[in-house]
A and B are shown apart, each in its own frame.
Chain A
Amino acid sequence: MAVAAPIRVLEAQYRTYRRTWRGSVISTFLQPVLFLTAIGVGLGTLVDDGAGTSTLPIAYLAFLATGILPATAMQTGSSDGAWPVMAGFKWRKDYYATIATPITVRDLILGRFGFAAIRLTFVLTIYTIIMALFDAVPLWPGVLGIPPAVLTGLAFTALVTAYTCTLENEIGLANLFRFGIVPLFLFSGTFFPVSQLPDWLEPLAPLTPLYHGVELVRKLVLSDLEAPLVSSTSMWVHLAYLVVVLVIGTALAVRFLDRKLLV
């Protein structure tokens, strides 16, 4: 039976991942656990005991965990669009092997993103279970945060893949993480509400995809939160923003990889 080409790419991705997942699994789970322990439990105790209680109606740990979920998705998703993509066209050149078959560049991108979505779902589900074990957020409604976090991660996979395909070497990737991903991680409402940002920075936050991911997860999981801890923007706006970024990012990724491989 004929199977759609992107699905066949996804199957190949899965087979490779089955051999290599051990290398990434520790770092993937260790980081959120470290954040939850150090900042959530450690710093969170101070926040909750001090002036924090007057502004946060919930435990800081819950606030943090719902920010770390989409932020982890962003990091996992971005990494997926960075080094493996550069390896595909520059180091291992396995993309050249793939497109020598009936598979097209578009199939390759869609298959990769499809697999990225599955992997993100897996990683974020484990993370949600860890959140529950930390008593940060109960499994229900904690699981409601998974789909928007996956969407956030995928949007970053698409954007970063497109960006990587414009690069000649990995210096640009190091810079992306240093000057792009890390600042987003810190200033998109992950650790504190965006309303706490300096006035000149605050309007910039809604421009970033992570902000919308964080807002969407919090509004779904912590439904009691109100402005200024979360914005008053409709959840549909957040969703639409992320979908638009994913679609544009995917189109650019196909175009730029095409330009890279088919010369």
Chain B
Amino acid sequence: MAVPLVIAESLTKRFDDITAVDSVDFEIHPGESFGFLGPNGAGKTSTMRMIATVSPVTSGTLSVFGLDPAADGRQIRGRLGVVPQEDNLDLELTVAENLYIYGRYHDMARPKIKEKIEELLDFAELTARRDSQVETLSGGMKRRLTIARALINEPDLVILDEPTTGLDPQARHLLWDRLYRLKQQGATLIISTHYMDEAEQLCDRLVVMDKAKIVAEGSPRALIDEYAPREVVELRIHNGMEAAIEQLVKLAPRIEPLADRVLVYTDDADRTLKEVHDQGIVTDSALVRRSTLEDVFLRLTGRALID
């Protein structure tokens, strides 16, 4: 296997008395799309900031491209593309100017930047807006521009921190499509997200983070197989929730009572659902679905990803 692009060993980040990242280990390989899945405050952003060399490592070791972030920050950043959680574009400049300035920060020659700008405007579907002031763009367009900007230096590794947070569903899907294309072209991506569907769609491999620690690692499929039965019956029960739960415990190996519904994990949802009705449990609604990373997270931490 090729040499990993990122190697973290016992990587730790502390702020005063808060431990944001607590002794995590992981490796990221060339060409893979690697995810950090976890709720807000799990330590995803802190970890990514350390990889991006803009946050000093408290303890443990971290190597990026085989280099030391503390000593070789400039060199590492020259090979990175960074998409921050919050857009930090220059609102007063045009779309093309934002790309141009970033190219100059990367010390690229002007003709090369001009060529890249055309290519990236096309990729981000912003060609028609090339001379628009950034302030006038929609949220989805700004996000795509931020991603295009991160690609100007043809990075070996692209870091995306919550790339679709705050976008409407349509804008999200367009963005996923773009990121998927990037993946197809062989780019190495690091994506943090608290959306399990995003992690399932985009990540080849991911680590689940909770309370500053990594609690599981694997491909989305492998994690689901390992931590959740195949299917889930979601029952909404208005009256007699507690009595119903007592009965359900006997029917399925694992159930998860939530505030407004009960999740019943099973390998055969149809049979379980039939048994539920045979037992005379009155439900307001019943939904059968496949297990997802959300269920994995619930299993590992006892909490939902998004509260």
Contacts and interface: CB of A to CB of B under 8 A. Distances in A.
A12 B101 contact: yes
Interface string A1-24: 111010011011001100110000
B104 interface: yes
Nearest to B104: A8
B91 A92 contact: yes
A8 B56 contact: no
A152 B73 CA distance: 34
Contacts of B75: 102
A48 B26 CA distance: 79
B294 to A, nearest CB: 31
Nearest to A262: B54
A99 B78 contact: no
Contacts of B109: 1
Contacts of A98: 105
Interface residues of B, number: 31
A93 B54 CA distance: 14
B101 to A, nearest CB: 4
Contact of A100 (B15, B80, B97): B80
B55 interface: yes
B90 interface: yes
A94 B90 CA distance: 7
A117 interface: no
Interface string A221-263: 0000000000000000000000000000000000000000111
A122 interface: no
Contact of B105 (A1, A96, A101): A101
B29 interface: no
A112 B199 CA distance: 40
Contacts of B299: none
Nearest to A101: B105
B153 to A, nearest CB: 8
B15 A102 contact: no
Given A12-B101, A12-B104, A93-B88, A102 B74 contact: yes
B82 interface: yes
A100 B82 contact: yes
Nearest to B100: A15
A99 B73 CA distance: 10
A100 B69 CA distance: 12
A103 interface: yes
B92 A20 contact: yes
B197 interface: no
A3 B77 contact: no
B55 A97 contact: no
A97 B86 CA distance: 10
A182 to B, nearest CB: 29
A2 B108 CA distance: 8
Given A100-B54, A262-B56, A92 B104 contact: no
Contacts of B90: 16, 92, 94, 97
A72 B67 CA distance: 47
B93 A15 contact: yes
A263 B84 contact: no
B52 interface: yes
Contacts of B107: 2-3, 5, 8, 102
A9 to B, nearest CB: 8
* Max chain B Cβ within 10 angstroms of own Cβ: one of A9, A19, A97, A103: A97
25 contacts: A1-B109, A8-B104, A9-B105, A11-B101, A11-B104, A12-B105, A15-B101, A16-B92, A93-B86, A94-B89, A96-B88, A97-B84, A97-B89, A97-B102, A97-B149, A99-B54, A100-B54, A100-B80, A100-B82, A101-B78, A102-B74, A102-B75, A261-B54, A263-B15, A263-B55
Interface of A: 1-3, 5, 8-9, 11-12, 15-16, 19-20, 92-94, 96-104, 261-263
Given A8-B107, A261-B54, 16 more contacts: A9-B105, A11-B101, A12-B101, A15-B93, A16-B92, A19-B92, A20-B92, A94-B88, A94-B89, A97-B84, A100-B52, A100-B82, A101-B102, A101-B106, A102-B78, A102-B105
